[in-house]
Each structure stands twice: as C-alpha cells, then as structure tokens.
Amino acid sequence: MDAQGWDDRYQDSELVWSATPNLFVAQYLSGRTPGMAVDLGAGEGRNAVWLATQGWDVTAVDFSAAGLAKARSMAFEAQVELATVVSDVDHYHPTTPVDLVLLSYLQVPDEHQRRILRRAAEWLQPGGAVFVVAHDKANVDNGHGGPPDPDVCYTVENTVAALSELRIEVAELAQRPVDGAVALDTVVLAVRD
C-alpha cells in the first residue's frame, strides 16, 4: 500500500492499531538504557510513544502524514516529546548515530528488507541495537492475521543474514496471541559492539 492508501486507512478510524506497544517491543526493549531512537515505519506511533515514555529521545518516521498526526496526538496525551518525520524509509537518514532502530511490521519486499536493515545497522553507534518484529513468512499459511503476501513478510534467517555485521542477541520465530488465535512473528535484536 502506498502513502495515500495508509493515510486513507488511518483517517477512517480512531486507531487502526492499539495504543499499547507491541508485546515483543515491550518485552525486549524494557530496561534498555535509553538514548536516541528511530522508529522506521512508525504508523500511528504506539511503539514510538511507548519508547518515549521509557525515556528514549524518539524520531518516528513514516510516509503517512495521517499516521504521524495520530502519533503526535498520542505523544501529547502521554505528555512525552516525539519528533516525527514524514518520509519514505528509503529516503530517511538520521543526522547523528543512534542507539536504537526499531522496525515493527514494516511491510516491504524481501530485497528492500535487506537494504533497509543494512542501512539501519550503519546508523548505530557502538552499543546501539536494531530491533525487528515482523510478520513471518510462515504466518501466511500457519498463523493468524497479517498480510497474505509472503513477499512482504520476513524470516528469522534472512533478517539475521542482513544484520550479520552485528551481534545477534535474539533471533526467534515467536508466537503472538491475537483474536483467540496465534500469529507467527520474526523477532530479532542485533547489537553493534
């Protein structure tokens, strides 16, 4: 879906997604020392706002202006600072090295995934991390929800390979409860030493 499609989707409802952070974002990023963070493909900003409430200095990047407007509203309600940048993830580049790059359900084709993940790894300062949570390709046939197109889903193996210059702390095919069923997600946390 293009930016206009996401704008339309976000404008047609109160919140498309929950205001609470993703289960795995909260599980694996709680307790990490806050610093500069970039949420690529932030959508309505639920994870970016949560990171800000944990003390992170967050920039939420998305090509949907409508999604980021909701993110700013959510940040205001949570009484936290949140920078937003309307940009395609291919064109965004942080001005300084960062401590965390979050990619949460960023739906792009395989080759695009590798390129974005490699760029994200380059943005890290020492000790910084890339955290990926995404619909796994196995979810298409064996899980619940998510996109029906396996080309925009991830695998643990491909994600780890794209982040091979980093130290892998977590790499799993994770089960996420959703609507009384189970979704299958790629979850990878990789750190620059």
Task: Assign 8 a pLDDT band (cuts: 50, 70, 90).
Answer: low
Distance CA 16, CA 67 (A): 9
DSSP secondary structure letters along 83-138 = EEEE--TTT---SS-EEEEEEES----HHHHHHHHHHHHHTEEEEEEEEEEEEBHH
For residue 14, pLDDT over 80 is answered with: no
Task: Assign 147 a pLDDT band (cuts: 50, 70, 90).
Answer: very high
**Domain of residue 139, residue span:** 3-191
For residue 61, pLDDT over 60 is answered with: yes
Segment 99-135, tens digit of pLDDT: 999 999 999 999 899 999 999 999 999 999 999 999 9
User: Residue 175 CA to chain centroid, in angstroms?
Assistant: 17
For residue 26, pLDDT over 90 is answered with: yes
Sheet harboring 57-62: ordered strands across?
Answer: 83-86, 57-62, 36-40, 98-104, 124-135, 181-191, 167-178
Report the number of distinct structural domains present in the chain. Answer: 1
Q: Which pLDDT does position 13 carry in this prediction? A: 64
The CATH number given to whatever domain includes residue 12 is 3.40.50.150
For residue 9, pLDDT over 70 is answered with: no
Instruction: Report which of 93, 109, 96, 162 is spatially closest to residue 132, judged by C-alpha positions.
Output: 162
